[in-house]
Amino acid sequence: MPITTLTALSLAARLRAGEVKIAEALDAYYAKIEASDFNCYISLCREHAYARAAQVQARLDAGEARSPLAGVPIAVKDLLCTRGLETTCASDMLRGFAPPYDATVIEKINAADMILLGKANMDEFAMGSTTETSAWGATKNPRGPAHVPGGSSGGSAAAVAACEAPIALGSDTGGSIRQPAAYCGVTGLKPTYGAVSRYGLIAYASSLDQIGPLGRDARDCAALFDIIKGRDARDGTSMAYPETPAKPLRGLKIGVPKEFFGDGLHPEVAGAVLAAKDRLVAMGAQAGECSLPIAEYAIPTYYIIACAEASSNLSRYDGIKYGHSSAKAQSLRETYILSRSEGFGMEVKRRIMLGNFVLSSGYFDAYYKKALQAKRLIQDAFTRAFETYDVILGPVAPTTAPRLGESLSDPLKMYLSDIYTVMINIAGLPALSIPCGEDARGLPIGLQLIGRPFEEATLLAAAQAYQNAAGGAQ
């Protein structure tokens, strides 16, 4: 079996056994990337990777594996700071920026002796659902190159799907791990808010952002999540992770919200998701219909909060301290205006303007305050649902991956593609996307499992059982 087709844990086992050397694995992945036109990466870290490989290989040869994923190459979304290595957020605003420090998750994968392959492509500043807003060009979906890979972590998902990385890190603000995982046919975990430190994550919306793994299957995601989770003194929103045992699939109570299966959901997606639910029931789970009537307010609530926070977070890019500074500016005011006009793409500008509008005098109460009130109602709705059910089940997206170019011409349609994912970020819950079938064109369909806070183990165990019964990741 070629090295690049192995799961991350399978590759790690071969590395520990001495059947494969880390440099051989890097050779295989870089050759795969060079032969590809999927545009999964913004930059590659060859020199850094091979230098690290020599150090880690010496430890493996001495029988000193530091983690279950020691020696495994990893792709990292290009909004995670990497010391001395370019970190761009796929934006001209940060082209050439090399951070002076590592994000906490980068420190943790380094401590686990994983090897950074490169920085994965993404939507600019994580604003988009297709990975088409990148200043480095669009990423293609390996399962259908005329289609988008999803976003904003599309490069990370596509790299795993294309066998250009065995595992990857992404970030999820409103579905940005789960939706590309669904579109590309891989597994992606959005952890509980606070389960993983956001220190060194270049922020989009700070109350919604969360870093998580994308892999070939649930076992790989679980292994990487174990490495990156936990309290970090540099992130006041992070928490010590309570180790909650996984609930067994037999007897697991699964709620299926009727609102998730109404107008707008493609019949092929609905059929595949419900068939997956039936398979879980056949394996011992219990399923029943539940209701989340607040779901219809999820999209406006999310985009008001996210854009408001984005407008604040992106105000730091003013052409003064770092980032793009316009050469045409003749005054301080022109420096601000021209640097931001030249450095930011259209989707980022659109969301900054929306954010400034909802925060402005006269509109704050009408929009932003109401969105915060709706946020609480959404959280309460999930709390009530979890009084009866252990897991909530539904689709990840209403359709399979759209064709390249379709979503950019209709931003509202792109926003609506997040209808089943944004609620989870608003509520701060963990959720997992796993493949559950294909449409008539062979494009993957994703199943979403949503859990109580810090019960990732239950989601991952159910997904692993489902994937084992299906003969592995589909």
> Where do we find the tokens 């606070």?
194
Which one of the listed residues 176, 238, 417, 433 is annotated catalytic? 176
> Average pLDDT, stretch 192-202?
98
Is 339 assigned a catalytic role?
no
State the virtual CA torsion across 395, 397, 399, 400 in degrees, nearest 10: -100
Does the structure show a pLDDT above 70 at 472? no
Is 176 assigned a catalytic role?
yes
> Average pLDDT, stretch 72-88?
98
Within 10 Å of residue 354's Cβ, how many Cβ atoms?
18
Per-residue pLDDT, 411:
74
In order of their start, the domains of the chain are 1-474 (3.90.1300.10)
Residues whose CB is less than 8 angstroms from the CB of residue 401 and which lie 6 or more positions away in sequence, other chains included: 141, 143, 144, 147, 148, 149, 150, 183, 184, 443, 444
pLDDT in tens, 348-378: 999 999 999 999 988 999 999 999 999 999 9
Which one of the listed residues 152, 171, 238, 311 is annotated catalytic? 152
Residue 368 DSSP code: I
Which one of the listed residues 32, 77, 140, 229 is annotated catalytic? 77
Per-residue pLDDT, 471:
76
The SS3 assignment for 305 reads: helix
DSSP bridge partners of 167: 215
The reply to whether the predicted model has a pTM over 0.95 is: yes
pLDDT in tens, 228-268: 999 999 999 999 999 889 999 999 999 999 999 988 999 99
Secondary structure (DSSP) of 283-330 = TT-EEEEE--GGGGGHHHHHHHHHHHHHHHHGGG-SSSSSS---TT--
- Let me know: does 243 contact 266? Beta carbons within 8 Å: no
Is 433 assigned a catalytic role?
no
Q: Give the model's confidence band at 474: pLDDT under 50 very low, under 70 low, under 90 confident, else very high.
A: very low
pLDDT in tens, 133-161: 999 999 999 999 999 999 999 999 999 99
Q: How far apart are the first and last CA of the chain?
A: 17
